[in-house]
């Protein structure tokens, strides 16, 4: 294998991976591009090569030819292979999936392995240590390799079918939370070998890697299915045998410290999973008794999502300015509204993260706390023990707070205390379930809050939705009729032919043409004129008309703007906004 001399190039600014240094030396990549791609791969938790090919700087085919030439390794077109004829069981499927490699054959005491990155020493050492055999690399195109890895590694469903082939008997070890989550560190081999634990661990890791927000474990009369919510859409991932439903539910409840003997009422819990040397992900667990067993939904709580910064949430410049101006005020109430799953918690915690300074006392009451934020005093509401939102708020006011965050205003008592706090020198942040910003004010009035209390305390309301973001690699111009654009909400003067809307296509880097989500916001400061409307008990329609006069976009208008600049599709905007 030919050596690559990178001594003449300055590649010391960032500790680039070997592939990046090799491409710089070969003249295929400049230093700044390599560093930018590497930094992005670190922030998105993806591999350098995945980010490199996904960015479009180098195509997968061009990269493979360059790597083959530079390292003197053979290049193979994987499309010419029959996946069914490849050897199985020579290498653990977890290693194949983690390092994106496929074993092509075995020659004496060496494995012939397809890879797109022969500089990955960690992969080579892992394969050598696991198999006690040497490794000879064969270069393949990264996109084709990904497809082959997925085709040749056993699915979770196949694995579980094999496990229950003996009539549904399982080797189910009764272990502690620590053993279940840290079995590799404790050496608890019996836990690692337990089929249920292995299946659950695979589902959690797969969900995290696929950027899912929730996992659904659903028992029915004759089937059992696992679905992930990815970019807001539920996708069926596995259909394990129905025989595992009770043992899987028990395993999840043990790890979540729930009562495994109680199957008649819903329960809520939490668990953790270590996904790296210094990375732990929290999961919120909810169980629900159904006709054919307990349905379990696991929400992935990634603390890093609250630290992405306000720019990553998708606010337009004027919306961002209004929000930052409001949270900089010393007192008042800021409300974030929207349905479940619209990103309200992340928005609130992004604001708290901006406000979280050594000289500020912040207290939050939630049911339960979803994101752990160091420096913030977080309280979990426990209604059975008498710790309601109202009780927590009363306690907060005796704790010398500067900023208070209430998970949700559900009743008049909580609303009254929160408003009094906002009126007496505290900044209060909270959420409500309403359709848009103007209806939030009338919703508070319907809860029994006096108009003068609303007018004197609420300073800004943000309504939001999450729309799927178009994949930058494969989105294509959409041919939408002029009449349809007008019907959607565009004005005649907007449709001037200088811009185009885009539609999803779908590629190996995305999910049916979408990758990630972007926020659609209606950021409405409560102006003096709106306060007058509230004081005379005006309707939500009057408030909406005044907001429009003051330049506040509706949710539909905000979504249409996102479609106009190519962030999402028009059909997605129509699906997530109401008008």
Instruction: Give the separation between CA 139 and CA 72, rounded to whole angstroms.
Output: 10
Strands (E) across 536-575 are located at none
Q: Which tokens hold the place of 236?
A: 């069926």
Q: For residue 316, is the peptide bond before it cis, meaning its omega torsion is within 30 degrees of 0?
A: no
| Ranges of the chain with pLDDT below 50 | 1-12, 156, 163-193
Dihedral over Cα of 80, 86, 91, 97: its sign: positive
Question: Is the separation of the CB atoms in 227 and 187 below 8 Å?
Answer: no
DSSP 83: G
Q: Which of 319, 320, 310, 231 is nearest to 575 (CA)?
A: 231
Instruction: Give the separation between CA 260 and CA 62, rounded to whole angstroms.
Output: 55
Q: At what angle do helices 195-209 and 156-163 cross, to 10 degrees?
A: 170
Residue 143 has what pLDDT? Answer: 87
Q: Which tokens hold the place of 32?
A: 């700044």
Collapsing DSSP states into helix, strand and coil, what is residue 574?
Answer: helix
Dmax over Cα atoms in the chain, in whole Å? Answer: 88
Q: What is the β-pairing status of strands 110-115 and 134-139?
A: parallel
Q: Is the pTM of this model over 0.85?
A: no
Instruction: Give the separation between CA 367 and CA 387, rounded to whole angstroms.
Output: 10
Exposed/middle/buried for 354, CB within 10 Å: 0-12, 13-18, 19+? middle
The DSSP H or E segment spanning 298 is: strand 293-301
Instruction: Give the separation between CA 103 and CA 67, rounded to whole angstroms.
Output: 19
DSSP 511: B
Residue 490 has what pLDDT? Answer: 87
Q: H helices of 375-448, where?
A: 389-396, 412-423, 437-446
* Cβ neighbours around 328 below 10 Å, total: 10
φ/ψ of 107, rounded to 5, equals -130, 110
Instruction: Give the separation between CA 19 and CA 121, rounded to whole angstroms.
Output: 11
Q: For residue 110, is it left (φ>0), alpha (ψ between -120 and 50) or beta? A: beta
Q: Calculate the CA 278 to chain-centre distance.
A: 19
Q: Which tokens hold the place of 409?
A: 């205003």
Q: Which tokens hold the place of 528?
A: 């003096």
* Cβ neighbours around 493 below 10 Å, total: 6
Residue 500 has what pLDDT? Answer: 83
Exposed/middle/buried for 80, CB within 10 Å: 0-12, 13-18, 19+? exposed
């Amino acid at each position: 294998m030919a050596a690559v001399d990178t001594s003449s190039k300055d590649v010391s600014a960032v500790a680039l991976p070997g592939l990046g240094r090799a491409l710089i030396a070969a003249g295929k990549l400049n230093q700044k591009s390599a560093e930018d791609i590497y930094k992005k791969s670190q922030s998105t938790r993806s591999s350098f090569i995945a980010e490199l090919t996904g960015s479009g700087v180098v195509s997968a085919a061009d990269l493979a030819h360059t790597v083959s030439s530079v390292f003197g390794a053979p290049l193979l077109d994987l499309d010419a292979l029959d996946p069914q004829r490849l050897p199985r069981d020579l290498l653990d499927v977890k290693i194949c999936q983690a390092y994106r490699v496929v074993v092509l054959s075995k020659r004496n005491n060496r494995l012939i392995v397809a890879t797109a990155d022969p500089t990955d020493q960690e992969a080579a050492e892992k394969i050598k240590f696991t198999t006690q055999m040497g490794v000879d690399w064969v270069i393949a195109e990264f996109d084709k390799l990904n497809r082959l890895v997925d085709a040749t590694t056993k699915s979770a469903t196949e694995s579980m079918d094999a496990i229950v082939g003996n009539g549904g008997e399982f080797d189910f070890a009764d272990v502690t939370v620590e053993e279940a989550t840290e079995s590799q560190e404790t050496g608890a081999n019996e836990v690692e070998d337990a089929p249920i634990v292995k299946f659950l661990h695979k589902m959690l890791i797969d969900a995290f890697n696929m950027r899912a927000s929730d996992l659904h474990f659903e028992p029915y009369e004759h089937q059992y299915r696992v679905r992930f919510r990815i970019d807001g859409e539920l996708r069926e991932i596995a259909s394990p045998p129905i025989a595992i439903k009770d043992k899987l539910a028990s395993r999840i409840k043990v790890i979540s410290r729930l009562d495994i003997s109680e199957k008649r009422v819903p329960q809520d819990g939490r668990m953790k999973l270590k996904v790296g040397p210094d990375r732990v992900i929290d999961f919120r667990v909810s169980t629900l008794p159904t006709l054919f067993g307990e349905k379990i939904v696991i929400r992935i709580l990634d603390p890093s999502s609250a630290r992405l910064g306000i720019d990553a949430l998708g606010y337009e410049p004027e919306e961002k300015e209004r929000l930052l101006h409001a949270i900089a005020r010393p007192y008042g109430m800021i409300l974030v509204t929207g349905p479940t799953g619209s990103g309200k918690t992340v928005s609130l915690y992004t604001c708290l993260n901006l406000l979280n300074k050594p000289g500020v006392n912040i207290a939050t009451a939630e049911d339960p706390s979803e994101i752990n934020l160091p420096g913030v005093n977080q309280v979990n509401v426990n209604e059975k023990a008498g710790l309601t939102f109202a009780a927590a708020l009363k306690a907060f006011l005796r704790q010398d707070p500067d900023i208070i965050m209430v998970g949700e205003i559900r009743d008049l008592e909580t609303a009254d205390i929160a408003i009094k706090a906002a009126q007496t020198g505290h900044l209060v942040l909270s959420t409500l379930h309403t359709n848009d910003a103007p209806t939030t004010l009338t919703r508070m009035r319907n809860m029994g809050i006096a108009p003068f209390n609303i007018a004197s305390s609420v300073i800004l309301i943000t309504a939001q939705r999450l729309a799927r973001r178009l994949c930058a690699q494969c989105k294509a111009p959409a041919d939408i009729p002029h009449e349809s654009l007008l019907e959607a909400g565009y004005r005649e003067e907007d449709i001037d032919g200088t811009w185009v809307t885009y539609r999803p296509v779908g590629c190996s880097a995305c999910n049916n043409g979408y990758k990630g989500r972007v926020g659609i916001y209606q950021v409405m400061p409560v102006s003096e004129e709106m306060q007058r409307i509230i004081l005379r008990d005006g309707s939500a329609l009057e408030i909406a008309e005044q907001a429009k006069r003051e330049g506040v976009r509706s949710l539909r208008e905000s979504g249409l703007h996102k479609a106009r600049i190519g962030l999402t599709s028009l059909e997605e905007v129509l699906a997530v906004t109401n008008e």
